Amino acid sequence: MLQWKDVIQYASNGNPEPDRKVEKTEQEWRDQLTTEQFRITRQKGTEMAFSSEMCSLFEPALYSCVCCDTLLFNAEQKFESGSGWPSFTQPIKQNAIAYHQDNSHGMIRIETTCNTCGAHLGHVFPDGPKPSGLRYCMNAVALKKVTDQSLESERETQNIQTATFGGGCFWCTEAIFDRLEGVTQVRSGYAGGKVKNPAYREVCSGNTGHAEVVQVDYDPNIINYSDLIRIHLTTHDPTTLNQQGADRGTQYRSIILVNNDQEREIAEQIIKEVQGEAYEDLIVTEVKPFTSFYEAEPEHQNFYNRQPQYGYCQAVIDPKLAKFKMLYAEKIKQ
């Protein structure tokens, strides 16, 4: 979960890498957008307060950038701020938004832009509701409501599916899945518990019910769900209950969160196969329905790739990666 300190860090030291970049000429943007959309998003304009009905819309929905269609916000994080502009507590992904110090109009503020195309969205303030304390104050003109049908159609066109696994510290699990051919993105976070929007310290207490997990976006035409399950079960120890090496606690449990009955059947079948092939001790991996995923703080994302010299990375992750590369050399990204 992003907090004000994370926003300041991004604005001061550089923004997260976006999933993609969209660049167009000024004339191309003018041809694509309405006059008002161009004024707001490309010329850093501001719409009049209370000028959009979006302020009072709170039904389930996703909101994308009006310029490039990048998903930015989920209505689950939307709230009534009374400011006259649509307000959210979190972006849909931590790398969806870019942050810039804005000294215009005699004020010091943090401007928010689409991290994909640079569209001006609005500003973010540290006066939102807990637990994040953030208020993303957005121009409604800069946002486009995305229907479930159009979102599903887009995912089908891209043929991307998502799997969720936990096997100890998510720094380890992320480093492994990030190297697989066919995996397009890996996000570290928390799932399997009941507390909404937990922070890392809360999860470490063992009181949230959440496990440290990764969400893996993958192309099933390149790597299938069965392969992901098998790789997961053979790159951590699924026979130790609530423990991976020196990491102890329910947050480190071995877990597979399935999206449907078909995935459950596949997971249970692969567990049986791996049990007979690789382990004498009983596999205790939990298999349960997926409900919610809460993305971990920015400092936990892409951890191994950013800090390979960190002591834990050298002592724990390096040996796991060596085993992974030995077992699955043909499935590793070139």
What are the tens digits of pLDDT across the range 60-91? Answer: 788 999 999 999 998 888 999 999 999 999 99
Q: Which residue stretches of 69-167 are H helix? A: 148-158
Confirm if 326 and 313 have CB atoms less than 8 A apart: no
Answer yes or no: is pLDDT of 243 > 90: yes
Q: How many Å apart are CA 302 and CA 32, to the nearest integer?
A: 35
Question: Which pLDDT band holds residue 152 (cuts at 50, 70, 90)?
Answer: low
Can you tell me the mean pLDDT for 281-288?
A: 97
Sign of CA dihedral 235, 301, 303, 219: positive
- The strand pairing partners of 89, in sequence order, are none
Cite the residue boundaries of each domain of the chain with CATH code 3.30.1060.10: 159-328
Q: What is the pLDDT of residues 176-205, one digit of tens each?
A: 999 999 998 899 999 999 998 899 999 999
Neighbours of 317 (CB within 10 A): 22
Confirm if 251 and 204 have CB atoms less than 8 A apart: yes
Q: How many Å apart are CA 3 and CA 134, to the nearest integer?
A: 7
Amino acid at 156: E
Neighbours of 77 (CB within 10 A): 18
Q: How many Å apart are CA 202 and CA 194, to the nearest integer?
A: 12
Which top CATH class is 4-150?
Answer: mainly beta
pTM score, two decimals? 0.61
Cite the residue boundaries of each domain of the chain with CATH code 2.170.150.20: 4-150
Collect all residues with Cβ–Cβ distance below 8 Å to 19 and sequence separation of at least 6.
70, 95, 116, 185
Q: What is the pLDDT of residues 107-141, one digit of tens each?
A: 999 999 999 999 999 999 999 998 889 999 999 99
Q: How far is CA 249 from CA 124, 206, 216, 232, in A?
A: 36, 6, 23, 19
Going along the chain, which residue ranges are E strands? 62-65, 71-74, 78-79, 87-88, 97-102, 109-114, 120-125, 135-138, 143-146, 161-167, 183-191, 211-218, 243-244, 247-248, 254-258, 286-289, 293-295
Q: What is the gyration radius of the CA atoms in the chain, in angstroms?
A: 21
Q: How many Å apart are CA 29 and CA 37, to the nearest integer?
A: 10
- The strand pairing partners of 287, in sequence order, are 256
Confirm if 235 and 323 have CB atoms less than 8 A apart: yes
Residues with catalytic roles: 137, 169
| Residues shown for the chain | 334
Q: State the fold for domain 159-328.
A: Peptide Methionine Sulfoxide Reductase; Chain A (3.30.1060)
